[in-house]
Amino acid sequence: MESRNDNSISLNKYISSSGICSRREADRLIESGKVSINGKRAQKGNRVLPGDHVKVNGKKLRSKSKPIYIAFNKPMGIVCTTDLKEPKNIITYIGHTQRLFPIGRLDKMSTGLIFLTNDGDIVNKILRSENEHEKEYFVKVDRDITDAFVQGMLEGVPILGKKTKPCKIDVQSPRTFKITLTEGMNRQIRRMCEHFEYEVKSLRRTRIMHISLNNLKIGKWRNLSSKEMYIMQKKIK
């Protein structure tokens, strides 16, 4: 790793701050040899100094666009990927004039709230597990909910080699409930329900932190308000 300079910035942060991807994705680009600094192949741990020329896939990075933060009500069948080879990718579906990428994901068959941005710096802060940001979901299952099911979900469920953190559950009807999580394991709610032999028939995310879907129609998006962003910035510090 290169020695630190007060005027330098880590390469992955420099790439993400240009708005093309998150830091994690920037690391993948560096590892795959698609990034160069002053004409030389870059390596993880490199730092960028004023005047350095950084290229990704042979193209010089453009200066960062104005930060954009949007809330999107994802329909069923849309895939949370920036891979344009996927015909139902979220980027093409939204059709924004700026290059955006999703913060986190919802699986293909789930619907509801997801954020998108061109600000790579904010992604890891929101997704950082130790921050324990709440995410609320409305879930419908294939049979009546029992007290044992609710208690088991509340206490934590062994999935993917670990036990889920305690959550909040609010039963809405014999087969529907709201669940609030502070983590985001892969297909977590579906796997938790499967552990108790329940099948999820529908799953909709209704809230992330302090931001809710409210009246945002499915398939539509809106810019986050200045007030929402102010509160978010305080929460993710």
- Dist CA 19 CA 230 (whole Å): 20
User: Taking phi first (over 0 means left), then psi (-120 to 50 degrees means alpha), and beta for anything else, what does residue 221 get?
Assistant: beta
Q: At what angle do helices 23-31 and 120-127 cross, to 10 degrees?
A: 110
- Say whether 26 sits in a helix, a strand or coil: helix
Question: Going by DSSP bridges, is the β-strand pair 111-117/200-208 parallel, antiparallel, or unpaired?
Answer: parallel
Tally of residues, the chain? 237
- Say whether 28 sits in a helix, a strand or coil: helix
Burial of 184 (0-12, 13-18, 19+ CB in 10 A): middle
Q: Is 107 assigned a catalytic role?
A: yes
- Dist CA 112 CA 217 (whole Å): 9
Please say whether the beta carbons of 123 and 117 come within 8 A.
yes
Number of H helices, E strands in the chain: 7, 17
Which is catalytic among the residues 27, 52, 83, 107?
107
| Euclidean distance between the first and the last CA atom of the chain, given in angstroms as a whole number | 27
CA-to-CA dists, residue 22 to 82, 104, 173, 205, angstroms: 11, 11, 40, 22
Please say whether the beta carbons of 167 and 153 come within 8 A.
yes
Known catalytic residues are 107
